């Protein structure tokens, strides 16, 4: 089973708090800031933790605004690990 990733938009001032809360559940998920200017973070969810993450996000949404910016995907698809990708750079 692959790790799944979600891209989320937060307020910039909430990124550190969000990361602290998520990563306090050791082994559940890792948070990586994808775009600090836009406050977009990647939430990389370990196999078997999907339901727990969903419940935690539901609770956190009562405290801070969290917006999904993309459907959940495997981490390989987002990071490019294990797959060849084409680049659309100029």
What is the value of pTM for the model shown?
0.74
| Rounded distance between C-alpha atoms, residue 68 and residue 12, angstroms | 15
Number of Cβ within 10 Å of residue 42's Cβ equals 21
Above 50 in pLDDT, residue 87?
no
| Rounded distance between C-alpha atoms, residue 52 and residue 77, angstroms | 22
pLDDT tens digits, one per residue of 45-74: 999 999 999 999 999 999 999 999 865 444
In the DSSP assignment, the letter for residue 63 is T
Domain parsing of the chain, residue ranges: 4-74
Q: Any idea which architecture 4-74 has in CATH? A: 2-Layer Sandwich (3.30)
pLDDT tens digits, one per residue of 18-32: 999 999 999 999 999
Among 39, 64, 85, 86, residue whose Cα is nearest residue 31: 39
pLDDT band at 2 (very low <50, low <70, confident <90, very high): confident
Token pair 């969000």 in the structure block, residue:
18
CB 46 within 8 A of CB 25: no
């Amino acid at each position: 089973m692959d790790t799944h990733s979600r891209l989320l938009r937060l307020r910039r001032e909430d990124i550190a708090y969000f990361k602290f809360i998520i990563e306090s559940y050791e082994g559940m998920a890792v948070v990586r800031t994808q775009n600090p200017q836009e406050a977009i973070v990647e939430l990389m969810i370990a196999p078997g933790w999907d339901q727990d993450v969903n419940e935690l996000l539901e609770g956190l949404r009562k405290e801070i605004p969290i917006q999904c910016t993309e459907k959940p995907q495997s981490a390989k698809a987002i990071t490019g690990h294990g797959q060849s990708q084409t680049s659309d750079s100029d």
